Amino acid sequence: MAREAGEGGDVRHWSLSRVCSCRCSDAVPVWRAATGPLAPHGRCGLVRVSESVTGLLSLQRIFLVVLALQGGLALILLQRKGLIRLSRATLLSGLIGIIVLAGGTLVVVQHERLNLTNATPIAEDARVVQWRAVLLRIAQNPVIGSGIGREVMRKAHRDLIPDSSFWHAHNVFLNYGLEMGLPGILALGWVFFSLLREYWRFYNSTDEKLKLLGIAGLMLILGVVLRNQVNDMFIRDAAILFWAVNGALLGYGHRRSRQVVLER
């Protein structure tokens, strides 16, 4: 987004790109935990601390929401398969702690945004108004859309752009819908669903390493999809990183699956 808008040198825009990349890096420590014997919990903790600091400094509200959801869901999935052993009280306390910490941090971040920038309250966010207009425009041409590329709003729907910062829909599914209509939205949804289905199969395997890989993949898809509901960073280096990590996880997972079958 920063390079297309001509603001590639801004530190804040670098942070935005880094935060987007962090959603993919969630999978890396869990993958290493599944493929190597060294201190997996330490690696996961280090990555989480790094992500939290990055998200806080970049003042990204959605980042905090996604991080909390990932943390809570990962705890539940790990507990469900016996990969960690926590009492119900401990698990519940952990989930409540995640919610409280994320909520408190979100309040601080929103306060800082209002003090340091021209940000508006969440209820008055210009993206909400723009999303309604984009949905109506998609409904007008639901079969073929208005043309390929994120520049489509500038080319075919300039009246939807309130200012230079809102030249696309700030939602990956709406951008695909504006470009290619409902078929574009369905195609993108099917891609994410297919990945989730593969990782869910890993998670339900009898092999512990495959279970960890499954959780890593599920967190990866969850993070990328949710992060891109309020922007569209599923492009360039972030998209390349996404597919590279998926390739590593799926490649190792299917090879491991064959090994498990042969060992029976």
Distance of CA 76 to the CA centre of its chain: 19
The two tokens of residue 121 are 């309250």
* Apex 239 CA angle, 235 and 242, nearest 5: 160
Q: Quick check: is 251 in a domain?
A: yes
pLDDT of 170 reads 87
Whether 23 is covered by a domain: the verdict is yes
Please state, rounded to an integer, the average pLDDT across all residues of the chain.
80
Query: For residue 22, which of 235, 220, 211 has the smallest C-alpha distance?
Result: 220
pLDDT (0 to 100) of residue 18: 41
| 3 found inside a domain | no
| Token output for 182 | 């409902």
Lowest mean pLDDT among 59-73, 89-103, 216-230, 237-251: 59-73
Highest mean pLDDT: which range of 90-94, 115-119, 142-146, 191-195:
191-195
Task: For residue 140, tell me if it sits in a domain.
Answer: no
- Say if 89 falls within a structural domain: yes
Residue 157 has pLDDT above 70, yes or no: yes
Q: What are phi and psi of 81, to 5 degrees?
A: -100, 5
Of 151-165, 230-244, 247-261, where does mean pLDDT reach its minimum? 151-165
On the question of pLDDT at 75 being above 50, the answer is yes
Provide, rounded to the nearest whole percent, the portion of the chain with pLDDT above 70.
78
Q: Does residue 181 lie within any of the structural domains?
A: no
Q: Which domain holds residue 29?
A: 11-119+193-263
Residue 175 included in any domain: no
Whether 186 is in a domain gets the answer no
- Please give the pLDDT value at position 7: 35
Q: How many domains is the chain partitioned into structurally?
A: 1
Whose CA is closest to 24, among 86, 84, 66? 66
